Amino acid sequence: MNGKRKFYLLLGLFQIILVLIVFFSVNGLVTFVAAQTTSFDYYNSATSAVLAVSAAVSVGASVLGSALAIKTVGTAAISSLAEREESFFKAFLVVALAEALAVYGLIVGILLWTKIPTPPA
């Protein structure tokens, strides 16, 4: 299988996965389950568990990805400092952008965490 065909196959698979994610989104799944039963306890549903796990995965995956990027780019930044001092700022900028990945994951985790349903007091 050549590279172009493999790319289009993966792109099509990604689009199918995106359609399934939108179809089985949290609100859509809750509406689907609520329509099937007469009494649905929204606060003790699987929605709370899915949102909590999603928040944990978003923070964990973004931090691991950021750590891998910082490790790779940080090594290159130190190497560029040893060779040419004027190129260090560009490499340091890329390290800062890699750190922003962890912040974005934390923001997504906080947004998901705030959507976890809690019963009224």
Nearest in space to 112 (alpha carbons), one of 54, 27, 26: 54
What is d(CA 56, CA 2) in angstroms, rounded to the nearest whole number? 37
What pLDDT does 36 receive? 62
Could you give the angle at the alpha carbon of 28 between the alpha carbons of 9 and 24, nearest 5°? 25
Q: Tally Cβ neighbours within 10 Å of residue 52.
A: 13
Q: Copy the structure tokens of residue 17.
A: 């996965």
Six-digit token pair at 68?
């891998």
DSSP 29-79: HHHHHHHH-SS--GGGSHHHHHHHHHHHHHHHHHHHHHHHHHHHHHHHHHH
pLDDT in tens, 90-107: 888 888 888 998 999 999
pTM for this predicted structure: 0.60
- In this prediction, residues 32-60 reach a mean pLDDT of 74
